[in-house]
Structure 1
Amino acid sequence: MYRRRFLRRTGAVGSAAVGVALAGCAGVGGEPDYDVGMLATAYQPREITVSVGDTVVWENTSARAHTVTATAGGLPDGAEFFASGGFDDYETAESAWQSDFGGRLESGDRFQHTFTVPGAHEYVCIPHRKAGMYGTVVVEE
């Protein structure tokens, strides 16, 4: 079990008043099984803070197709590139999207990545980047 998910679950077990107060903080939309949801043109939340070694799970919670793609130049030195579709770099991910919607996450699909390098890890939804669909995972030691 992931530490954040454990804390979310146990944090909501308190008194009824506390449980109600924490219900909206249990995760995106109250769903404890993912960390970042996807709206029509936004990640929710847009920024998340985790610890080194944590795994972040994104779920497409909208009806539109999305991607999760690290931005070119948006990773700390030594960080592994990440992208739905398993691409090795941004250019390849963008080309795959343009040619056959590579890396596409349909409604209900999930993508996950484990972060091993501290710092800000920026990512984007390739088809919705012009609409401002960007996110950041801040990784702390």
Structure 2
Amino acid sequence: MKRRDFLRATGGSGGAVAIGSGVAAGQEGTGTTTSTGGGGSGPTETVTVGPGGSLVFEPAELTIAVGTTVNFVWDSNMHNVVPQSQPEGANWEGEGEQGTTFDAGHEYSHTFETTGTYEYVCTPHESAGMTGTIEVVEELQSGGGERELHDIGAPIHPHWVGVGTILMMFVSLVFTFYILKYGESPNTGNTGGGE
């Protein structure tokens, strides 16, 4: 469906509401959002549950500051998020339990207020290694000074490809200018002496 058709079908600005709620025109919503532990104004991180049908959490290890909301988003079926250990005084209950799972489109959020290490699993796939860890710290360490390209999520090699492309374009323009301006000498066409 094209964007214009989608907006027409959902009544213009209502399309933004449909997109935000994860429900497109003509489709029923199957996911639910559960928010626990406050939240709203602090930073947010996302953990994808079963990305592309794989039996992992992505990222499997996450370090966040106190007050960060983690949004668990299901990308495949038959998964849950069950805490195995958490710091004393923490109240994280997770989403689901042994025998209770959720399908793609489901979302669950929790705001972490207690520092320490939280370990969790998907109970149906724990033996396959579907485990995760969230480390909650008072505040995240800032790198201080310059940040490397790979630290901000940009691989280095595409930048060098871009630099090389710009350099080759420049060299081509200079070479073309030189050939057009100073190309052949006026005597190049004369191959022999006059008769």
Q: TM-score, normalised by structure 1?
A: 0.62
Match of 2:80 among 67, 77, 88: 67
8 Å Cα contact 1:52-1:116 kept in structure 2: yes
Which 4+ residue blocks in structure 1 deviate beyond 3 angstroms?
A: 1-5
Paired with 2:125 and 2:91, the residues of 1 have a C-alpha distance of 23
- Out of 123, 128, 136, which is 2:120 matched to? 123
Q: After TM superposition, give the deviation of residue 126 of structure 1 in Å.
A: 0.7
Cα shift at 1:56:
0.4
Aligned counterparts of 2:110 and 2:43: Cα–Cα separation in 1: 15
Match of 1:52 in 2: 66
Greater RCO, CA 8 A, separation 6+ = 1
Aligned CA-pair RMSD: 1.7
Q: Measure the CA separation in 2 of the matches of 1:135 and 1:82.
A: 15
**Amino acid in the other structure paired with 1:48:** L
Cα 1:76–1:123 change in 2 (3 A) is: same
Structure 1 runs not aligned, ≥5 long: 6-33, 86-92
Q: CA deviation at 1:65?
A: 1.4
Give the deviation of 1:81 after TM superposition. 3.1
1:137 aligned residue = 134
Residue 57 of structure 2 is aligned with which of 21, 33, 43? 43
Q: Is the 8 A contact 1:124 1:134 kept in 2?
A: yes
Task: Tell me the distance in 2 between the aligned counterparts of 1:83 and 1:3.
Answer: 19
* Residue of structure 1 in register with 2:94 after alignment: 83
Q: Deviations over 1:88-122 (max 9, x none)?
A: xxxxx22xx1xxxx2x2210101111111101100
Q: Is the 8 A contact 2:42 2:69 kept in 1?
A: no
> Aligned equivalents of 2:111 and 2:124: distance in 1?
24
Distance in 1 between the 2:43 and 2:114 partners? 18
Indicate the SS of the match to 2:78.
Answer: coil
% same residue: 34
- Distance in 1 between residues matched to 2:91 and 2:66, nearest whole Å: 13
State the partner residue of 2:108.
111
For residue 123 of structure 1, report the CA deviation from its aligned partner. Answer: 0.5
Contact in 1 for aligned 2:67/2:111 (Cα 8 Å): yes
Aligned residue for 2:67, secondary structure, equals coil
Count residues with an aligned counterpart.
96
Structure number with bigger Rg: 2
**Rounded Cα–Cα distance in structure 1 between residues aligned with 2:111 and 2:42:** 13
Mapped partners of 1:69, 1:116: distance in 2? 18
The separation in 2 between residues aligned to 1:56 and 1:81, in whole angstroms, is 11
